[in-house]
Amino acid sequence: MAFITGTEYVTIANKISDARDSLLSSVDDIFDTVYEVVQFDNIDKELDLLAPFFNVYQVATGNYRGATTLHAGIRALNNHVLRRSSHADMNAYLSDEGVQVTQTFADMSNALGYGISAANII
């Protein structure tokens, strides 16, 4: 059976980790925007902008603070490896392929039940 190589796996895992970091960073950037609006020295500016930007912040917080937006991709990646290879678990696959994943990716995988141990984390 054909399955992705360790290098291909890590490339995808790193992209998912980067996406997670970017999503979290975007929430912080939106909060900083709200803070800038609060610092205006004119009430009209604040009245016009505070509620809309705070709403954007609340939506972003709800959507991006959790990792659920990335779960389907992580499941697909890990299920592919487990279904198509002869490896019993993700640790065996990563060890046999000689690759490691980021802590961010490992945390998300672990939360979904795909245990990745410290030996396989950068």
- pTM for this predicted structure: 0.80
Domain boundaries, the chain: 6-120
> How wide is the angle at C-alpha 71 spanned by C-alphas 88 and 58, nearest 5°?
155
CA distance 94 to 96: 6
For 36-94, the pLDDT digits (tens) are 999 999 999 999 999 999 999 999 888 777 767 789 999 999 999 999 999 999 999 99
> What are 9-26's pLDDT values in tens digits?
999 999 999 999 888 889
Question: What span, in angstroms and rounded, lies between the C-alpha atoms of 107 and 38?
Answer: 35
